[in-house]
Structure 1
């Protein structure tokens, strides 16, 4: 029953869904009628779609036409605004040109012709030039033949403006430095080294110089302008721009003198030499010529005068390349100066009266001292009493002849210094004060701890050393001068390890200075501490340095012509400076034995194996006037004493002997076995003056692989060592005190190094602590074995001739 109801309900629903015919007369429709109805509905639908599509197209076309009209209006508005802006810029440029001409004293600009005025007015027949001839004349004066939109009259006026003498005198160039000199094309800028004497020739030379300087300045300006924005806004970028602006200002007087034609030959000839070298791309020669010109015109440019290696015209050019050890700078008056490429660390109060900011640089700004800040009350400023300068420095600053120095007037090393230093060269370690008894700077660990502390706070290499390194075109090496018998040995050890991380393969020479146990006047406890400090410095510095040269403050071997006060650091430092400076003179010469010398060249002479890094420093000093006679007497005495050996294969006795041994120290240790004859492995010698050194039997070349004698390389230079008025009177050679002395120095690796190292190792074994004794003593033994005769680390047997 329920099923029947559901079925009837479904049938009724389906009947209601069937569309009923419009007319009650027809209950049934034909299939053709249904198809006709469907087609009619379809056509109606398509027509409605076409009408909608057509309506949309019409609406879109109307919108496009309206947008086009608005675009035309916008273009017209932009054109009108651009024209107004152009007119405004032209008016501003014209006003600026009027102000510039008024400032330079030139006549005012002529009034502008009205539009079409030039074209309409006829050209007088006597002033007119045929078109073809006018084009040829314009090309002859390096002018464009035809400009865009230019009429014949405008072209004629442009030509007359260029060639008219009256107009030319008032015409200024549009370069960085405006000038009335007519600039020449680039192909005519090459100057002749011979300065002409006639007026026309000099005027042409001035035009060539002005053209070349204008071209260089324009290229400089374009290069700086092409840099990225971040580079321009950086410190280096602003410094480069300021350098260009300073160059422009400094060259304006030169242009004025060339315009007037009154540039004297003393300046014109060096300028021509500089420009010719630059045009031939000999930039080093151009720089040297510029330095000679600028130094010759500056007053006391580097703090030293004619006694130094710097020469001034008309003196002959020095053989020393001062750029190796000195860096260029600019004094407050704009003149060029030079300061040493050095970095000096010292304790508080050790600089004496030397100021960090000297006369070559701007004084420090103390304007904020005493001004109110965040504190409500005025701060109390306490200043330490400054150390008064010595009379020697006072006279130097005043330009007077300084009084002679003596051991009583020399308190600090700055008392006899004749140099100005860059402010970044002087670094004060304020944690310790010189001669402080409570916090003495004596133990090796104290120096190392101080270095590690500062290194954690700031990268010392980046802050202190890198600015000097980045100024060098080619870095051949570094030289470190340090005390090794106090805390400075630990400080230098920390620096060397840091430098090896930064510059792994760079030549680093370390000059170790100190008593190293040799001075018996020092109390016993302190002397023992010095020996321990020296041994620890030797262990680290000899391993990290390319060359380690110990220098004793009280050498055992001294000649009779040397009067040395061992208690005066002034005397000791002067003697060490003579030896060190003479030994390294080859690296600063422009040529040595026909080629430039480097630290690596000297190092290869005595360290052929790469493991004998400790060298002993020796030298001899003589008066150059009696040098030849003294050399002959020395050779005759040596032959008479029978010191010449009959075994030239070894070569030890063939080498010259020195008068001063700055390496040997008396450790007062009785050797357990008789000392053997010293055997020399290699030597580098540097002579200053005519020493008449014999060449026969002198040894082998360091590049020779066969071991048939000591490796020997000699460097010679005729340049003598100058004794300035700040140098102590410690040499009495020849006929009396000389102004210059001849020096013969050498660095030698020999078995004497092994004896010295073993002597200090025996002392340290009894004094060093238990924790470091084994490592330190084993390291010293390993170093000593490298200098034993016949030792070869690459073989199992040490039996060797």
Structure 2
């Protein structure tokens, strides 16, 4: 084909196309848009169809994969079940062989699945699951135990209520009980005890009904009070007394439910209830006193054993209920533990257990059968600290061996009391004697308190349960170290307590070397001085009374042999002074010589700003004092008078003590010139026949009398030296197991000299920043000035013109 024919062909084709188009000369825009939209929809439809096809294929693939995974899980379950069954059979076969080898009876036949533990429960004795759980919770019992079946739960409930029928019901009163309550007209009890089991059971129903009615009326009466009365201190005390009475009566209800209440207790209880029903409330109170905890023997070991008297012994003048609290152990027995809250570092409690013999729960029987895990768990335990031989002998009921400084490792080695589990709290963040994280700097203790306070309110969690148990609380006493991180910890506690209990007496006893011990390195000794100064400023600001006590007293007596390196010796000396000085606050209210903590504060701190006091004491053999007293009486009778009197003129007539446990002497350089000490106020406590002139006592409320305010208290009880007390005193004959103590708490200008001496040392130290050092020095100067006002003009002269 040549070129001409090709051109002719193309020309003809173009003419034909133009002829076809010429049939419609033009197109509208709407037609063009419709064509475009139709084309677009066709394309979108095709894309959507393709997407749906892809999703359908994916869904089918996922369903197939899920089916395959379910098959694999079911296969693994069957294999695991088969493996577990084989292990159980092997373990059972081994147990059968072991029993056969030892001559033991064969294993009991296993129950089938769904049969639980044997014979089904009869319908008339069965309790629905939800109702049974509610009943157990009303009895303060666990609703469910691990691996416990419904029948086992029924058995536990039946054992708890001690009833013959599993369908026994609980009352909804203040103290839930299974005893069927009687109407009010049948509550009146008769004198004497009924005979027979049925008569005694009806008596228990009468007592439970009467106590329930009284508790309900008491609760209603408290609820109807005004909101202001409820929020007041007295209102809260009244409610706390009601709650405490209700909790104390729970063991009584429990024993009446089981029918285990002894006749020796039932008879006085009936007398009390009968007298109350006849409105003879004085007789009811007398009956209660016969049954009170102070007249019963309690299974405890108490440090001050001589304070606990039992009939027919005469009643002790010391009210031990002030420092000890009654309680109930898990087994229902009565306990008596100190009202104490003890914080210490990890490992500092020694061999002492948090849960002691009084509160140790009964060990459950070993549960037979298969466990949840296929293998036995591996338990890792920290090696416990073994108890000292002294504690081991006490636990075994044997006479303990004598203690020595080499055998006493921890304070718990010579402790003779059982503490409530809530009294012992371990600060696990720090370990005792740890060199990597030492608990030495003041700010470390303060930061630890702030951290734990943010996590959980320490007052509500640890202290408030003990506070709510107290009826008419006098105050709180805090014993703490002040030359290490415990000073910061205690400062945070005291500030928190002051915010919570604004007007309550808070006494702080600060213990420590306070930088005076030359056996420690110089850097650490200077750090101790800084810690002591910061503790002094913080504790003296928020405490009602702050008494610093040094481990190395500045003034000692020849009859005292003290090992300063032994905390056992130092703690014993301080305990004699503290216990004797505060004994007046624990005397019974009927005794006219009782002085509460607030009374002592008013004597030594008349202005309200002198809160720092120094502690001193003297020790003597009571037999020697008694002989001297007889000689004085004989001389007085011979002279024709009933006694001698001395004129009270100035501070020189006040008693001088033998031992000063206040603090070590810091004075250096020119500050070492001691001025004549002026005493503002003093509270004294004597135990024994001390030679004290009666007219030496000044009325602390008389502001116009000459000389300092002085108040003296006396107690007939001597200080007992138990076998746990070290042999540090050599007085008189030295054979007595009790000593006479004369102690005093004084505010004087010696405090100002001491504070100024510490301030001069702190001002020169570079361990703290300049601003903090300046603020600390100014604060200490302000504290010292309170002990100069009123008599010192600021002159350095030691003589008054």
Same fold (TM over 0.5): yes
Which runs of 5 or more structure 1 residues have no equivalent in the other structure? 1-102, 106-174, 192-200, 258-262, 636-643, 794-798
1:290 Cα offset (Å): 2.4
- Over 3 Å counting, the alpha-carbon distance change for 1:254 and 1:705 in structure 2 is farther
In the aligned structure 2, how far is the partner of 1:620 from the partner of 1:221?
A: 54
**Equivalent pair of 1:478/1:507 in contact (CA under 8 Å):** yes
**Equivalent pair of 2:593/2:714 in contact (CA under 8 Å):** no
What does residue 773 of structure 1 align with? 773
Q: What aligned pairs does 1:182-193 form with structure 2 within 5 A after superposition?
A: none
In the aligned structure 2, how far is the partner of 1:248 from the partner of 1:400?
A: 36
- Over 3 Å counting, the alpha-carbon distance change for 1:215 and 1:184 in structure 2 is closer
Q: 2:416 aligns with which of 394, 418, 425?
A: 418
In the aligned structure 2, how far is the partner of 1:407 from the partner of 1:616?
A: 28
**Equivalent pair of 1:761/1:781 in contact (CA under 8 Å):** yes
What does residue 723 of structure 2 align with? 725
Cα deviation code 1:400-456 (max 9, x no counterpart): 111111111110000110111111111100000000011000000000010001111
1:336 Cα offset (Å): 1.7
Q: Mean alpha-carbon deviation: is it higher for 678-687 or for 375-384?
A: 375-384
Q: Secondary structure at the match of 2:211?
A: helix
Q: 1:391 aligns with which of 386, 389, 392?
A: 389
- Over 3 Å counting, the alpha-carbon distance change for 1:288 and 1:399 in structure 2 is farther
Q: Secondary structure at the match of 1:653?
A: helix
- Over 3 Å counting, the alpha-carbon distance change for 1:467 and 1:680 in structure 2 is same
What does residue 671 of structure 1 align with? 670
Q: Does 1:220 align with 2:225?
A: no
**Equivalent pair of 1:729/1:737 in contact (CA under 8 Å):** no
Q: Secondary structure at the match of 1:480?
A: strand
What does residue 788 of structure 2 align with? 788
Cα deviation code 1:624-645 (max 9, x no counterpart): 111144679999xxxxxxxx99
- Over 3 Å counting, the alpha-carbon distance change for 1:255 and 1:414 in structure 2 is closer
Q: 1:549 aligns with which of 547, 550, 564?
A: 547
- Over 3 Å counting, the alpha-carbon distance change for 1:678 and 1:217 in structure 2 is same
Q: Secondary structure at the match of 1:671?
A: helix
In the aligned structure 2, how far is the partner of 1:274 from the partner of 1:314?
A: 26
1:217 Cα offset (Å): 2.5
In the aligned structure 2, how far is the partner of 1:429 from the partner of 1:372?
A: 39
**Equivalent pair of 1:483/1:489 in contact (CA under 8 Å):** yes
1:315 Cα offset (Å): 1.6
Q: Mean alpha-carbon deviation: is it higher for 310-319 or for 489-498?
A: 310-319
Cα deviation code 1:198-217 (max 9, x no counterpart): xxx9989x999999976543
Q: What aligned pairs does 1:156-195 form with structure 2 within 5 A after superposition?
A: 176=179
**Equivalent pair of 2:271/2:284 in contact (CA under 8 Å):** no
In the aligned structure 2, how far is the partner of 1:342 from the partner of 1:243?
A: 20
What does residue 687 of structure 1 align with? 686
Cα deviation code 1:24-78 (max 9, x no counterpart): xxxxxxxxxxxxxxxxxxxxxxxxxxxxxxxxxxxxxxxxxxxxxxxxxxxxxxx
**Equivalent pair of 1:357/1:364 in contact (CA under 8 Å):** no
What does residue 472 of structure 2 align with? 474
In the aligned structure 1, how far is the partner of 2:548 from the partner of 2:631?
A: 31
- Over 3 Å counting, the alpha-carbon distance change for 1:787 and 1:419 in structure 2 is same
- Over 3 Å counting, the alpha-carbon distance change for 1:645 and 1:321 in structure 2 is closer
- Over 3 Å counting, the alpha-carbon distance change for 1:673 and 1:355 in structure 2 is closer
With the length of structure 2 as denominator, give the TM-score of the two structures. 0.65
CA RMSD of the aligned region, Å? 4.3
What does residue 380 of structure 2 align with? 382
In the aligned structure 2, how far is the partner of 1:283 from the partner of 1:540?
A: 49
**Equivalent pair of 1:292/1:313 in contact (CA under 8 Å):** no
What does residue 496 of structure 1 align with? 494
Q: Secondary structure at the match of 2:449?
A: helix
What does residue 290 of structure 1 align with? 291
Which runs of 5 or more structure 2 residues have no equivalent in the other structure? 1-161, 165-177, 224-240, 634-643, 794-798
1:281 Cα offset (Å): 4.7
In the aligned structure 2, how far is the partner of 1:293 from the partner of 1:654?
A: 41
- Over 3 Å counting, the alpha-carbon distance change for 1:647 and 1:313 in structure 2 is closer
**Equivalent pair of 2:584/2:593 in contact (CA under 8 Å):** no
What does residue 533 of structure 2 align with? 535
**Equivalent pair of 1:628/1:692 in contact (CA under 8 Å):** no
What does residue 586 of structure 2 align with? 588
1:774 Cα offset (Å): 1.2
In the aligned structure 2, how far is the partner of 1:746 from the partner of 1:700?
A: 15
In the aligned structure 2, how far is the partner of 1:623 from the partner of 1:271?
A: 49
Q: Secondary structure at the match of 1:338?
A: strand
1:717 Cα offset (Å): 0.7
Q: Secondary structure at the match of 2:508?
A: strand
In the aligned structure 2, how far is the partner of 1:208 from the partner of 1:605?
A: 60
1:492 Cα offset (Å): 0.4
Q: 1:706 aligns with which of 694, 704, 707?
A: 704
1:242 Cα offset (Å): 8.0
1:219 Cα offset (Å): 2.5
What does residue 655 of structure 1 align with? 654
In the aligned structure 2, how far is the partner of 1:417 from the partner of 1:556?
A: 28
- Over 3 Å counting, the alpha-carbon distance change for 1:420 and 1:563 in structure 2 is same
1:708 Cα offset (Å): 1.4
- Over 3 Å counting, the alpha-carbon distance change for 1:646 and 1:362 in structure 2 is closer
Q: What aligned pairs does 1:143-162 form with structure 2 within 5 A after superposition?
A: none
What does residue 88 of structure 1 align with? none
**Equivalent pair of 1:622/1:742 in contact (CA under 8 Å):** yes
**Equivalent pair of 1:303/1:419 in contact (CA under 8 Å):** yes
Cα deviation code 1:759-791 (max 9, x no counterpart): 111111111521211111111111111112635
Q: Secondary structure at the match of 2:306?
A: coil
In the aligned structure 2, how far is the partner of 1:762 from the partner of 1:591?
A: 46
In the aligned structure 2, how far is the partner of 1:686 from the partner of 1:402?
A: 32
What does residue 348 of structure 1 align with? 346
1:525 Cα offset (Å): 1.1
In the aligned structure 2, how far is the partner of 1:568 from the partner of 1:466?
A: 34
1:664 Cα offset (Å): 3.6
Q: 1:446 aligns with which of 444, 450, 454?
A: 444
What does residue 598 of structure 1 align with? 596
1:517 Cα offset (Å): 2.0
What does residue 247 of structure 1 align with? 252
Cα deviation code 1:548-604 (max 9, x no counterpart): 000010002111111111110000001100100111101111047616421000111
In the aligned structure 2, how far is the partner of 1:493 from the partner of 1:666?
A: 24
**Equivalent pair of 1:295/1:336 in contact (CA under 8 Å):** no
- Over 3 Å counting, the alpha-carbon distance change for 1:657 and 1:788 in structure 2 is same
Q: 1:754 aligns with which of 752, 755, 779?
A: 752
Q: What aligned pairs does 1:510-659 form with structure 2 within 5 A after superposition?
A: 510-591=508-589, 594=592, 596-629=594-627, 648-650=648-650, 652-659=651-658
- Over 3 Å counting, the alpha-carbon distance change for 1:253 and 1:461 in structure 2 is closer
Q: What aligned pairs does 1:200-349 form with structure 2 within 5 A after superposition?
A: 216-222=207-213, 246-251=251-256, 279-281=280-282, 288-292=289-293, 295-296=296-297, 298=298, 301-304=299-302, 307-349=305-347
Cα deviation code 1:196-253 (max 9, x no counterpart): xxxxx9989x99999997654313234667889xx9xxxx999998865631343479
In the aligned structure 2, how far is the partner of 1:237 from the partner of 1:662?
A: 43
1:473 Cα offset (Å): 1.3
In the aligned structure 2, how far is the partner of 1:682 from the partner of 1:184?
A: 63
Q: Which has the larger radius of gyration?
A: 1
1:611 Cα offset (Å): 0.6
1:475 Cα offset (Å): 1.6
